Amino acid sequence: MFQVRDLTVKYQAKVVFSKLSFELADNTILAVLGPSGSGKTSLLNAITGLLSHQGEILLNGHPLDTKAQTIALVPQDYGLLPWKTVEQNVLLALKVKEKKGGKDQPKLQALYAALGLTSLLKRYPHQLSGGQKQRVALARAFALTPDLLLLDEAFSALDLVIKQKAQQLFLRQWQETPVTTLVVTHDLKEALLLSDQILLLTPNKPQLITNPLGDLDYDSRTEAKVLTQVLSELEAEVKRQW
C-alpha cells in the first residue's frame, strides 16, 4: 500500500498543494492528472525526496526511504546517459542499487527481448529513436524490480502511433511484473488507458476517481466507443474542476 497523508509542498515560498492525502493499493497504477503548474512534478519530487515537504509518504506502512526501498523513475526525457550504451545504462542502475539483477542474465535478456532491445544493447542513446530510448528507460526501471515505479510524462514526447505501442508494451511488461506505479500525465486519454485510479490535481481539492476502464485490458480500453464515452465524461469533470 502506498499512502500519502497530509502532504504539503511549497516551492519558492508558494504552496503548491496543501494537505494532500490519497492511497494506492499494491500493484496498481495511479495516474496523476493535471495541467502544467498543477503540481504534478512537485508531487513526484516530494515522493522521491528531491523536494522538501510536510506530511507523510508511506510505502507498505514505512516512511518512503530511497535507501531501503527501490524507487525507479522514468523522466520525460528518459534520463539516459549519452556516454553509456543501452546495456550500460541498465546495468549502472542495477550497480548503484547493488542489485544482483546484472548477474541474472537470463532474466535481463528476457526483459530486453520483451521490450525489443536485444539488438540495440551496444548502441548509444543518440543512435536510438525516441521510442527506443523510452523502452531503454522502461527496461532500466523494470530491471530494478522496484517497490515503487514513477513515470513522469514518460510517453508525452512520442508521436501518436509510437506512443500507443509504447503504452501497450509498458502495460504488457507491467502485467508480467506488477508494481505500485504512479503515472504523471497531462493527457486524459493516457490516464484512462494506463491507470486503475486517477488523481485529479485540481486547484481547490484534489480528487481521486476510479478509472471506469480499469478492469479492461489495453486493447479493450482503446476501443473507440467505450473510450470516447468515458473520455468525454472525464473531460467534462476536468473542465468543471478547472
Partner 1 sequence: MVKKFLRLLYALFILHAIWAVAALLVNRPLLPTPWAVYSYFPQLVGLDLWWNIYFSLYRLGWSLFWATVIGVPLGIASVRFPKFGQLFDPLVYFTYPMPKIAFLPVVMLLAGLGNASKIIMISLIIVFQIIIGVRDAVSQVPSSMYQVLEVLHANRWTMFWAVTWPASLAGFLSSLKIALGTAIATLFFTEIYGTQYGMGYFIMDQWNRLDYLAMFGGIIVISVVSFLLFSLISLIEHYCLRWQKDK
Residues of this chain that bind partner 1 (CB under 8 A): 48-50, 66-67, 70-73, 75-84, 92-93, 96-97, 124, 126-127, 140, 144, 150
Amino acid at 152: D
The SS3 call for residue 19 is strand
Of 45, 75, 51, 64, which Cα lies nearest the Cα of 4?
A: 64
Tell me how far, at minimum, the Cβ of 152 lies from partner 1, in Å. 8
The SS3 call for residue 188 is helix
- Pick 3 or 76: Cβ nearer partner 1: 76
Tell me how far, at minimum, the Cβ of 75 lies from partner 1, in Å. 4
Tell me how far, at minimum, the Cβ of 100 lies from partner 1, in Å. 15
Helix spans in the chain (H) = 40-48, 86-96, 105-114, 130-143, 160-176, 188-194, 218-222, 224-241
Tell me how far, at minimum, the Cβ of 137 lies from partner 1, in Å. 8
- Pick 177 or 241: Cβ nearer partner 1: 177
- Pick 75 or 212: Cβ nearer partner 1: 75
Rounded Cα–Cα distance for residues 183 and 109 (Å): 26
- Number of residues written out for the chain: 242
- Pick 153 or 190: Cβ nearer partner 1: 153
- Pick 119 or 229: Cβ nearer partner 1: 119
Tell me how far, at minimum, the Cβ of 45 lies from partner 1, in Å. 8
Of 70, 140, 154, which Cα lies nearest the Cα of 112?
A: 140
